[in-house]
Structures are given as structure tokens and as C-alpha cells.
């Protein structure tokens, strides 16, 4: 494509996965950050499902839905991120969608149940991370022994916890090591600089 433009709120949230894929993949893009409230309500009808993120390709073709955007960008930058065979692809999908389930469990309480979030995380974090700890104790990556889309999304979760309750991240050393390994990639280091200072959510809590 000749141009890529990401539309999202001025937060990290669901914008981090496309941003990290584009920056680590060497793609140039622009970003329109639309604040919640009146500005967002005015723009909401412009988007096919009335939600963001949206990736606009070549100024005219919009891709909505986070997973569709992520898969498009993976195919664009490094198709191997989705698996090289049908079995590898199923393994990537398995880990990617499990990661997204956990991502929703981590992000949701910032909006819905912040008064009990610390207890929830104390109770659930290690069990949420148990399958990831087991997989990463055997391999540097979640699926097929190589970098995949699932690794980028697990990095999203680890980043949230690193900034909110780093002591919990320390309780899952393999996930912590995976986060640091991802962060050592030059493109991911560049991504972290790009999002520096952005809040993670629109909740006012992180």
C-alpha cells in the first residue's frame, strides 16, 4: 500500500498491537488520535462499525476489527507470523486467541470494576499466565518455536502489568523474560518510544 493511517483514541489499548506490528515491521504510517467525547461522537458514524481501531489503506479502504487489522499487518510485514503451514497457523491462532481472552480479562476491570481490580489480579494473574509460563519455559516463543502474532499480543498484556503491578509480573518469570526479549527487538524499542506517555486505557486509571 502507498499509505497507512491508523484511527484510534489517544491511548495504548487496542492500538498497541497494530502500532507494534507496523513499527517492528518497518512500515510507515500516520495516526489520527481522536479523543473520546464530542470529537469521537462526531466521527463515530464515519467508521463501518462505529468503533476503533480502524486502519485506512491508501486513503480509501478501511479495515475495522482489531484481529482483522493485526492479521492484515502480519501478512504485509512477515506472513510467517501467522504460521507457514496449516498446522502452524492453527497453533498460532490457538495462542493468539487465548492471549486475547486474557487481554480482555486484564483490560476490562479498569473500566468496569476498578475498586476490586487489585484483588482480582492477585487472585487470577498466575493462573491466567500458567499456560504461557509452561510454553515459554520450553521455547522463547509461544507457537512453533518462532516469533508469531501471539507473541506481540502477549507483550501487550505484559506491558499493562509492568506499568500497573510490576510485582505481579515478577511472579511469572518466563512471561517477564519474554516481555524483555520482545522489548530488545530494535523495532519494539522504537515502538515503546513512540507510545511513551500515552495512557493504556480511557478509564482514567492507567
For range 97-123, the mean pLDDT = 97
> What does residue 31 show for φ and ψ, rounded to 5 degrees?
-140, 135
| Reported confidence tier of residue 124, pLDDT bands at 50, 70, 90 | very high
pLDDT score for 125: 98
For 151-179, what is the mean pLDDT?
98
How high is the mean pLDDT of the chain?
Answer: 98
Nearest CA to 167 among 136, 122, 202?
A: 122
Residue 26 CA neighbour count, 13 Å, CB half: 2
pLDDT at residue 166, rounded to an integer: 98
Query: What average pLDDT does the segment 98-127 reach?
Result: 97
Note the pLDDT of residue 161.
98
Rg of the chain's alpha carbons, rounded to an integer? Answer: 17
Rounded mean pLDDT, 60-71: 98
pLDDT at 89: 99
pLDDT, one tens digit per residue, over 169-206 is: 999 999 999 999 999 999 999 999 999 999 999 999 99
What pLDDT does 163 receive? 97
Per-residue pLDDT band for 33 (boundaries 50, 70, 90) equals very high
Instruction: State what percent of residues in the chain have pLDDT above 70.
Output: 100
Among residues 73, 81, 38, which one has the least CA distance to residue 53?
A: 73
Can you tell me the mean pLDDT for 14-32?
A: 99
Report pLDDT digits (tens) over 72-85. Answer: 999 999 999 999 99
Q: Which domains does the chain have, with CATH numbers?
A: 4-79+190-194 (3.40.30.10), 80-185 (1.20.1050.10)
Q: Kindly write down the DSSP assignment for every residue of 134-199, as one continuous string.
A: HHHTT-SSSBTTB--HHHHHHHHHHHHHHHH-HHHHTTSHHHHHHHHHHHTSHHHHHHHHHTTT--
Is there a contact between 157 and 179 (Cβ–Cβ < 8 Å)? no
In which band, very low, low, confident or very high, does the pLDDT at 116 lie, cut at 50, 70 and 90?
very high
Query: Mapping DSSP to helix (H, G, I), strand (E, B) and coil, where does residue 35 land?
Result: coil
Give the pLDDT confidence score for residue 84 in this predicted structure. Answer: 98
Amino acid at each position: 500500500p502507498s499509505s497507512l493511517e491508523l484511527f484510534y483514541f489517544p491511548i495504548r489499548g487496542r492500538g498497541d498491537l497494530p502500532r507494534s506490528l507496523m513499527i517492528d515491521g518497518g512500515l510507515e504510517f500516520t495516526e489520527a488520535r481522536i479523543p473520546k467525547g464530542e470529537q469521537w461522537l462526531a466521527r463515530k458514524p464515519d467508521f463501518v462499525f462505529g468503533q476503533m481501531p480502524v486502519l485506512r489503506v491508501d486513503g480509501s479502504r478501511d479495515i475495522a476489527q482489531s484481529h482483522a487489522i493485526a492479521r492484515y499487518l502480519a501478512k504485509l510485514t512477515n506472513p510467517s507470523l501467522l504460521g507457514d503451514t496449516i498446522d502452524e497457523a492453527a497453533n498460532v491462532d490457538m495462542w493468539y486467541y487465548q492471549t486475547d481472552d486474557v487481554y480482555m480479562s486484564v483490560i476490562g476491570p479498569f473500566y468496569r470494576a476498578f475498586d476490586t481490580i487489585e484483588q482480582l489480579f492477585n487472585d487470577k494473574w498466575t493462573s491466567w499466565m500458567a499456560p504461557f509460563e509452561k510454553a515459554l519455559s520450553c521455547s522463547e516463543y509461544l507457537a512453533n518455536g518462532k516469533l508469531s502474532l501471539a507473541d506481540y499480543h502477549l507483550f501487550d498484556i505484559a506491558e499493562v502489568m509492568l506499568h500497573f503491578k510490576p510485582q505481579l509480573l515478577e511472579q511469572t518469570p518466563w512471561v517477564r523474560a519474554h516481555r524483555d526479549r520482545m522489548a530488545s527487538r530494535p523495532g519494539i524499542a522504537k515502538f515503546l518510544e513512540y507510545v511513551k506517555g500515552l495512557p493504556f486505557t480511557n478509564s482514567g486509571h492507567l
